[in-house]
Amino acid sequence: MGITLIKSSMQVNSIAIKQLTYDYQDRLFERLDLIIESGSLVQITGKNGAGKSTLLKILAGILPIEPHSMFINDCNDRQVFALYQQRIRYIGHQPGCKAELTVDENLQYDSVIYNQMLPMNLVDHLTHWQLNHYQHNLVQYLSYGQKRKVSMLKLTCFPGQIWLLDEPYVGLDKAACEFLTKIINSHVQNQGIVILSTHQEIANFGLVAEKIINL
């Protein structure tokens, strides 16, 4: 009822997972509970195979779970979940760009996926990630780190409230790491939600996690 009113301007205030049990070959989570509030940076840690990536995929809605175990703004309505998914920017292990397309064409594809226009100052965004000379190069000829940067571009080009980053610092050079830290910090200050999984100490990059989920 009230959903239509808040449709376009819905702000995600909290993401809650209640009593989640999930099997992926082995049992990964047993009655997992967690609450993430807006304006917070959450780090997911755990040994290899503990389910860090799986948890991020569940939060992104890529892996389906039982509908009554995930709540957005204390509400587990499907429409609200769809609105929540529109605000997700997920970066997984794989860069997630099409190798046969150029950087520019990949951005065009992202712009229809996220239903936002390409920013006017696109070259500035590319410069931040040191990709300004590669705008019309095919992604298949870029290095791994550059491919990662192409997938990071969507964080700045197509703003979304919830960032789900799986090992975001892997493959990035020093300048890009610093820039990533900067945008994560400013995103958290602007009531955004950043959930990242990493083995490294994120304090080394200048980030302070408000919550650490140890799987």
Residues that bind other proteins (CB under 8 A): 57, 60-64, 82, 85-86, 88, 90, 92-101, 105, 108-109, 111-115, 138, 151
User: Which CB, 120 or 189, lies closer to other proteins?
Assistant: 120
CB atoms under 10 Å from CB of 215, counted, come to: 16
CB of 133 to other proteins, least distance (A): 21
CB of 60 to other proteins, least distance (A): 4
H or E segment at 7?
Answer: none
Identify the residue whose tokens are 């975001």: 168
User: Which CB, 82 or 212, lies closer to other proteins?
Assistant: 82
Q: How far apart are CA 23 and CA 27, in angstroms?
A: 4
CB of 39 to other proteins, least distance (A): 22
User: Which CB, 34 or 101, lies closer to other proteins?
Assistant: 101
Residue 215 CA: distances (Å) to CA of 18, 144, 172, 198: 15, 28, 25, 12
User: Which CB, 116 or 185, lies closer to other proteins?
Assistant: 116
Burial (CB < 10 A; 0-12, 13-18, 19+), residue 201, is: exposed
CB of 186 to other proteins, least distance (A): 23
Q: Is 189 helix (H, G, I), strand (E, B) or coil?
A: helix
